């Protein structure tokens, strides 16, 4: 999971939510949304490389539907193809230690997804 600064300029890795069951996962997300006064949730959608919606993306969509039933905060999908690859490259470039690499890669991938959303939103706002 990643959060942005209050101005919506910079995304940073925040935490990893270890999946338990849907109810606990949703509660954990809603707690973070409430504690940090989140105004928009951006969810990575794991599309296939050809852009189609596969089984994992369908699972994410179903989870997000359950989440949206529990909160009034708007939720938007963002294509997450290759974000984990980008996160791994960033980590290699930074030469960080390999402990908890997968969890860190996921948190960085979340920040990349959110940063892309923030950048695109800012561009659209300036063009309006």
* Domain encompassing residue 25: 2-127
Q: Tell me the C-alpha distance between 30 and 36, whole Å.
A: 10
Which of the four pLDDT bands, split at 50, 70 and 90, describes residue 66?
very high
- The CATH number of whichever domain residue 89 belongs to comes to 3.30.420.140
pLDDT tens digits for range 68-124: 999 999 999 988 877 766 777 766 666 655 555 666 777 888 888 888 889 888 776
pTM for this predicted structure: 0.68
Q: What is the Cα gyration radius of the chain?
A: 15
Q: Are β-strands 2-4 and 11-13 bridged in parallel, bridged antiparallel, or unpaired?
A: antiparallel
Q: Tell me the C-alpha distance between 128 and 125, whole Å.
A: 5
99 or 31, which is more confident?
Answer: 31
* Domain count along the chain: 1
Q: What is the pLDDT of residue 7?
A: 86
Which of the four pLDDT bands, split at 50, 70 and 90, describes residue 50?
confident
């Amino acid at each position: 999971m990643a959060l942005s600064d209050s101005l919506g300029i910079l995304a940073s890795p925040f935490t990893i939510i270890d999946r338990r069951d849907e109810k606990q996962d949703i509660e954990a997300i809603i707690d973070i949304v409430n504690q940090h006064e989140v105004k928009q949730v951006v969810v990575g959608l794991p599309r296939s490389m050809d852009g189609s919606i596969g089984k994992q993306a369908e699972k994410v969509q179903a989870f997000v539907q359950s989440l949206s039933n529990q909160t009034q905060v708007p939720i938007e999908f963002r294509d997450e193809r290759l974000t984990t690859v980008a996160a791994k490259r960033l980590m290699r470039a930074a030469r960080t230690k390999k402990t908890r690499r997968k969890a860190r890669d996921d948190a960085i991938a979340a920040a990349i997804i959110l940063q892309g959303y923030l950048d695109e939103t800012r561009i659209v706002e300036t063009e309006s």
